[in-house]
C-alpha cells in the first residue's frame, strides 16, 4: 500500500505540476479583470525609490550630530532663549531713552446745574471732549545707568550661551563616540565569542584523539559561555548608547540611523603657550565674570541715581473743548497745544535708597571675588585639561601596539596548544587579554576626543 502510494506521488510529479501551472495561468487574467483599473495601476519608479529611501538608515557624521543637538537640546535652547530675552531688554531700554508719542481720546460728562461748568468744578463743562497727541520724554540720570546695566546683562547672557555651546559639544562628542565605541566593543565581543567557539572545537577534537584531558574541554566550555554572556552585555550597551544618542538628536525619537566611525590617531597638539593665549582671549567663563562685574557696577550707579532729581516733559496737541470740532459754535478754533514740565526731588524715604545702594555694593564685591576665582580656576583647568589631552594622545600609539601584540599572542598560543606546548589556561588568558586590549584602545580614543573637547571649552577651536 505504501509503495503504491509512493509510486502515485512520483507519477504526479511533472504532470501534476504542469496541470497546476496551466490552471493558474488560465485564472490570472480573470482575477486581473475583476480588479478596478484605478486601483490596479503600476507603481512608479520614484515611489519605489522613495519607499526604499524611507527604510534606509540615516547616516550621521559628528557635524550632523552637532547641528541636530543644537536644534533639540533643551538646555542649549534655554541659553539661547535667555540671550534673546536679554537682547529685547536692551531694545526696550534704548527705547526708554527716546521720546515716545501717544494719542488718546476721552469724553467727560458732568451733571448740569444751570451753569456752564456743571456740578463738578474739576471739569471744564458739562460736555468735554479730549482728542490729542502726547509727546513724552523722561530725563533721569538713572535711565542711562539702567541702559548700561541691561547691556552688561546681555553681554553676560551672550557669554553664558557660549558656555552652553561648548558644553553641548562635549556632550555630543561623548554620546557620539560612546556609541561608536559601543559598536566596536560589540564587534570585539563577536570575534571573542567566535574565537571561543573555535577553541572549544579544537579542544574537543584533541580530547577525542586522546591528546588533552577532559578538564581542557570543560575550561573551554566555561570560556565559551562567558564570551556569549559578554556578547549579550555588549549588545545591550550598544543599544543603550543608541537610545541615548537618539534622545539627544531627534525630536521624534528616531532610532533608524548609523554613525560614521572617524576615530583615528589625532594630529599633534599645539604648544601650551599657544593654548594659554587662546584661553586668555576666548574663555567664556572669564567673560561671564567680567560681564557680571560690569552689571553690578551699573547696579550701584542705578541705586545712587534713584536718589537724584528726575525731569519729565510732555507736549500735548489736539482738542480739549466742550465740542468735538475744530471750531466751536462761535467760530473759535479748538485745536491747540499745551506743555508741562515736572521736576521730582526725592527728599525722604526712610533709608530705603541707601539700603539699595548697600545691596548693590554687596553684589559688586561678590562679583569681584567670583572674577578672581574664575581666573585662578581657568589656569588650573587649562593645565589639567591640557595634560589630560597630551597623556591620552601619547597612550594611543601604545594601546594600538598592545592590541596588535595581543592578537599575535593569541594566534601563537593557540598554535602552541595544538602542538601540545601550551596549556588551556594560557589560551584563555590570551583570549581575555586580546579582548581587553581592543576595548582599552577604543576607550583610549574616546578619552582623547572627550578630553580635547573639554580643552576647547576653555580655548575655543584651534
Query: What does the pLDDT look like over 332-378, one tens digit per residue?
Result: 888 999 999 999 999 998 999 999 999 999 999 999 999 999 999 99
Q: What is the CA radius of gyration of the chain?
A: 41
Q: Which among 343, 316, 176 is positioned nearest to 244, based on CA atoms? A: 176
* CATH homologous superfamily for the domain 62-98+145-308+352-459: Outer membrane efflux proteins (OEP) (1.20.1600.10)
Report strand pairing: 127-139 vs 310-321: antiparallel
Burial 161-190 (b: 16+ CB within 10 A, else e): bbbbbbbbbbbbbbbbbbbbbbbbbbebbe
Q: What is the DSSP letter of 327?
A: B
Q: Report in angstroms the alpha-carbon separations of 107 from 56, 78, 117, 123, 315.
A: 71, 47, 15, 11, 20
CA dihedral 283, 288, 294, 295 (to 10 degrees): 160
Report strand pairing: 335-344 vs 58-60: unpaired
**Burial of 440 (C-beta count, 10 Å sphere; 0-12/13-18/19+):** middle
Per-residue pLDDT of the chain (462 residues; tens, 9 = 90+): 334 333 333 333 433 333 333 343 343 333 333 333 333 333 333 333 344 445 688 999 999 999 999 999 999 999 999 999 999 999 999 999 999 999 999 988 887 777 766 666 677 778 888 999 999 999 888 899 999 999 999 999 999 999 999 999 999 999 999 999 999 999 999 999 999 999 999 999 999 988 889 999 999 999 999 999 999 999 999 999 999 999 999 999 889 999 999 988 787 888 999 999 999 899 999 999 999 999 999 999 999 999 999 999 999 999 988 888 888 888 888 899 999 999 999 999 899 999 999 999 999 999 999 999 999 999 999 999 999 999 999 999 999 999 999 999 999 999 999 998 999 999 999 999 999 999 999 999 999 999 999 999 999 886
CA dihedral 177, 183, 187, 188 (to 10 degrees): 50
Report strand pairing: 310-321 vs 257-259: unpaired
DSSP SS3 for 145: helix
Q: Are 220 and 203 in contact (CB under 8 A)?
A: yes
pLDDT in tens, 117-129: 666 667 777 888 8
Q: How far apart are CA 204 and CA 221, in angstroms?
A: 10
Q: Which among 196, 200, 198, 195 is positioned nearest to 214, based on CA atoms? A: 200
Which ranges in 60-140 belong to alpha helices (H)? 62-72, 74-96
Q: Which among 140, 80, 77, 134 is positioned nearest to 104, based on CA atoms? A: 134
Q: How far apart are CA 208 and CA 420, in angstroms?
A: 14
Report strand pairing: 257-259 vs 58-60: parallel
Q: Which among 186, 172, 195, 269 is positioned nearest to 231, based on CA atoms? A: 186
Amino acid at each position: 500500500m505504501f509503495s503504491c502510494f509512493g509510486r502515485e506521488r512520483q507519477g504526479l510529479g511533472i504532470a501534476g505540476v504542469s496541470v497546476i501551472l496551466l490552471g493558474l495561468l488560465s485564472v490570472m487574467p480573470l482575477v486581473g479583470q475583476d480588479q478596478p483599473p484605478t486601483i490596479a495601476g503600476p507603481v512608479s519608479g520614484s515611489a519605489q525609490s522613495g519607499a526604499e529611501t524611507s527604510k534606509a538608515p540615516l547616516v550621521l557624521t559628528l557635524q550632523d550630530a552637532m547641528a541636530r543637538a543644537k536644534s533639540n537640546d533643551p538646555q542649549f535652547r534655554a541659553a539661547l532663549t535667555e540671550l534673546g530675552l536679554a537682547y529685547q531688554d536692551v531694545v526696550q531700554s534704548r527705547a526708554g531713552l527716546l521720546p515716545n508719542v501717544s494719542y488718546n481720546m476721552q469724553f467727560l460728562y458732568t451733571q448740569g446745574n444751570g451753569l456752564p461748568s456743571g456740578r463738578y468744578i474739576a471739569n471744564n463743562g458739562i460736555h468735554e471732549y479730549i482728542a490729542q497727541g502726547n509727546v513724552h520724554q523722561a530725563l533721569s540720570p538713572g535711565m542711562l545707568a539702567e541702559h548700561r546695566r541691561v547691556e552688561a546683562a546681555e553681554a553676560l547672557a551672550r557669554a553664558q550661551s557660549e558656555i552652553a555651546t561648548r558644553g553641548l559639544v562635549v556632550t555630543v562628542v561623548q554620546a557620539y563616540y560612546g556609541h561608536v565605541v559601543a559598536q566596536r566593543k560589540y564587534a570585539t565581543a563577536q570575534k571573542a565569542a567566535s574565537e571561543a567557539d573555535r577553541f572549544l572545537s579544537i579542544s574537543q577534537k584533541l580530547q577525542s584523539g586522546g591528546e588533552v584531558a577532559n578538564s581542557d574541554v570543560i575550561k573551554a566550555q566555561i570560556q565559551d559561555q562567558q564570551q556569549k554572556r559578554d556578547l549579550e552585555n555588549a549588545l545591550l550597551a550598544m543599544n543603550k548608547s543608541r537610545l541615548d544618542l537618539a534622545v539627544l538628536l531627534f525630536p521624534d525619537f528616531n532610532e533608524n540611523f548609523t554613525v560614521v566611525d572617524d576615530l583615528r590617531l589625532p594630529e599633534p597638539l599645539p604648544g601650551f603657550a599657544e593654548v594659554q593665549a587662546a584661553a586668555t582671549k576666548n574663555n567664556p567663563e572669564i567673560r561671564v565674570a567680567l560681564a557680571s562685574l560690569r552689571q553690578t557696577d551699573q547696579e550701584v550707579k542705578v541705586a545712587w541715581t534713584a536718589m537724584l532729581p528726575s525731569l519729565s516733559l510732555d507736549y500735548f496737541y489736539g482738542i480739549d473743548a466742550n465740542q468735538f470740532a475744530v471750531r466751536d459754535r462761535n467760530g473759535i478754533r479748538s485745536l491747540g497745544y499745551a506743555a508741562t514740565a515736572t521736576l521730582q526731588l526725592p527728599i525722604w524715604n526712610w533709608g530705603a535708597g541707601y539700603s539699595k545702594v548697600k545691596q548693590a555694593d554687596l553684589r559688586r564685591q561678590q562679583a569681584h571675588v567670583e572674577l578672581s576665582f574664575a581666573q585662578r580656576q581657568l589656569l588650573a583647568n587649562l593645565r589639567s585639561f591640557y595634560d589630560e589631552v597630551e597623556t591620552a594622545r601619547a597612550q594611543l600609539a601604545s594601546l594600538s601596539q598592545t592590541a596588535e601584540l595581543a592578537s599575535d599572542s593569541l594566534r601563537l598560543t593557540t598554535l602552541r596548544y595544538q602542538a601540545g606546548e601550551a596549556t588551556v589556561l594560557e589560551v584563555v588568558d590570551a583570549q581575555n587579554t586580546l579582548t581587553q586590549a581592543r576595548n582599552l584602545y577604543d576607550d583610549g580614543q574616546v578619552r582623547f576626543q572627550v578630553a580635547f573637547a573639554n580643552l576647547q571649552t576653555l580655548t575655543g577651536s584651534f
